[in-house]
Chain A
Amino acid sequence: MLRPMPSLCVQTLRNGLYPCLRRSTPLNTARLQRHLASTAKPTESAPLSPVDRIMQTALTLVPEYGWTRQAVEEAVKRLGYPPITHGVCTNGPVDLIDYFLTQSRLRMLQLLNVDPSQAIAEKPLQSLSTRDKIYLACKARLQLTMPVVDRWQEAAAILAQPSNLPVATKQLYALTDDIMYYAGDRSADMQWYSKRAGLAGIYTTTEVYMTEDRTPQHEATFEFLNRQLDDVESVQSMLSSVKLMSSFAARSAFNVLVSTI
């Protein structure tokens, strides 16, 4: 991204901006990600890097401009950086969405009093049941989407594009894994997969519901979330009784079979 520019301009940019731009090779998303992960510490007092400042300003402009390059360009203009700096979004809008999702997830963990810098810290949320912890976490995360809820359908459409599938799955995996882990899930068998897949389904449908929800404070959304989580519980108990029934049936069938041999 920086390569084709005249060297003078590159020099100015490199010296003028934060070390993350002082690179000889073009920024790629992976690097941006790593950088974001390293600067995403919850310490409010530490000065933000230019990338964070640009992205966060751009996010405040999303309701006006949508998930577009214009939002980033406008943010760059307002912060007084050279106009070319909007190139921090190497992949365009999807980088902005990716940034939003990462930040919201970390903020959610902060809201739940979990320290994200410690990847495997073990702090019980509160003395809540697992289901309530999941509900609380989803609610906290959904509330972070509220400021951009009118534009969220556009983001969902962008994330649904096949080329953006890696970003979408990565973010959904990170979110559900965080929620399940901090809700106290320690399963190490196939339930690990089924629980995360189930939660991903519930969360995404609730998010879609929220974009259409016009009730004050999105009350209907949280009721919807509650219902979904209750449904899972009833399905689980139903499945276990079906399992019990079928094992009885299998045994009696086997007994009949053995008696005929």
Chain B
Amino acid sequence: MLRQRLVRGLWSCSRVQAPTLPGLSARWQSTSTTTESADSLAAKYSKYQTSLREIWPRLNDRQKELLSSMLRVNQAGEIGANYIYMGQHAVFRSNPKLGPLIEHMWEQEKKHLYVFDNFIGNNRVRPTMLRPMWVTAGYMLGLGTALVGKEAAMACTEAVETVIGNHYDDQLRELLKIDHPEVENLRQIIKEFRDDELEHLDTAVEHDAHQAPVYRGLSEVIKQGCKVCIEIAKRV
């Protein structure tokens, strides 16, 4: 059983290629067979098209720095989340119950990452510098917990989504201080994403997250790790 899981995990690890994620260049996407074209993605997520073009020149330096660090940390978080689900999916792909469930959550994270990638590209925000680190850390976390078992994977999801949910709430509070339709638009998007994340949290709890081995310890370690990552991502 474990050997089967391990082989499956490693197999998908060898196939971890960036092209399977949206938000990459067209040339990379063209080498992949699974992803949709850039145009169809843009059409699919057109309702999240928004910009900061009007408000940007009117912000002071502190506000600009705040907004860019927010977008950067969100991008980093969504990269991590994407790869966590990719790692879990690698193990539970053929599980009739968990496979579709993880696929659904992963699909939503893909959407989040696409929206933040686009937002960063269009608004001249410097993207996160540690992308390779988030990719490896996320994948290892997802794969590692999934190999321990279904409950551990769900406990990992629960811990990560708790921290991300709180983090988005902090941002929403912060954004309320800037009164402008464009910022309000951004708030609505973050609000929707936060609700998605909290839905994942509920799903994880429903699927026996609390039955995981050393649940308390595992959950605390992951939560603290996520908080450290957030602090790092804010800065670089």
Contact = CB atoms under 8 A, between A and B. Distances in A.
A244 interface: yes
Interface stretch (B95-103, B117-125, B196-204): B117-125
A244 B31 contact: yes
B117 A119 contact: no
Contacts of A122: 53, 122
Interface stretch (B3-11, B140-148, B156-164): B3-11
Interface residues of A, number: 24
A107 B36 CA distance: 41
B132 A190 contact: yes
Contact of A251 (B15, B117, B131): B15
Contacts of B27: 240
Contacts of A117: 57
A135 to B, nearest CB: 20
A46 interface: no
A190 B123 CA distance: 17
Nearest to A118: B57
Contacts of B28: 240
Question: Chain B at the A interface: mostly helix, strand, loop or mixed?
Answer: helix
Nearest to A173: B126
Interface stretch (B17-25, B80-88, B171-179): B17-25
B121 A250 contact: no
Nearest to B72: A188
A190 B31 contact: no
B219 interface: no
Contact of A192 (B15, B17, B53, B127): B127
A186 interface: yes
A119 B25 contact: no
Interface string A240-261: 1000100100110010001001
A81 interface: no
B29 to A, nearest CB: 12
Given A118-B57, A254-B10, A187 B25 contact: yes
Given A187-B121, A188-B127, A189-B127, 4 more contacts: A119-B57, A122-B53, A189-B24, A190-B132
Interface of B: 3, 7, 10-11, 14-15, 17-18, 23-25, 27-28, 31, 51-53, 56-57, 75, 116-118, 120-124, 126-127, 129, 131-132
11 contacts: A118-B57, A119-B56, A119-B57, A188-B75, A188-B127, A189-B18, A189-B127, A189-B131, A190-B131, A192-B127, A250-B14
